[in-house]
Amino acid sequence: ELEVQANRLAHYLRSKGVGARSFVGLCVERSSMLVVAILAILKAGAAYVPIEASYPQERINFILEDSGISFLLAELDTVSQVSACDKEIVILENVASELENYSTVPVETRILPQHPAYVIYTSTGKPKGCVVTHKNVIRLFKSTEEWFNFSRNDVWTLFHSYAFDFSVWELWGALLHGGKVVIVPDWTRKSPQEF
């Protein structure tokens, strides 16, 4: 299901002109749609720029202006936070039925190791965007592989904000090794007892 949904959204993004070396803003809640959207952006050949809806409006507006995004994905619950965006904003719930018409076959995209995978903005002082390449992400897992012996039996938690670099470890560790990723709800993340 994840593959089918991500492929459809990737084809949709390509039909909107998203491609290699594009930057796509992403402002969604913590859910399976977050994973679908990230995969779709990467499958389309673009890099994702995560924008937490809970950020102060000034920070959101700065990221929208500074990041060079060509497109933005949001949800009904988050779109008001990114309304200052001057690029096309697509609300995922509004295109859900339209996506059914797109192919479930993977998009043919040539992604090179040096292509951007995502952009994370620093959390202190004036935000600075750090572009991370596909090569950097793969190196992270290759260099730690023998320490942990990851496998499909592992269960990972997506605990951190997807706008924080450590989320890459949590999400891609599970997906790369065929494991399970549990998306920890926001209210659970904020309560050690609940977690």
**pLDDT of res. 104:** 97
Token pair 């969604």 is found at 28
Phi/psi at 74 (nearest 5 deg)? -145, 180
CB 43 within 8 A of CB 10: yes
**pLDDT of res. 126:** 83
pLDDT in tens, 86-123: 999 999 999 999 999 999 999 998 899 999 999 999 87
Q: Which residues does the chain have with pLDDT short of 50? A: none
Distance (Å) of CA 39 to CA 9, 92, 125 = 9, 14, 30
**pLDDT of res. 74:** 98
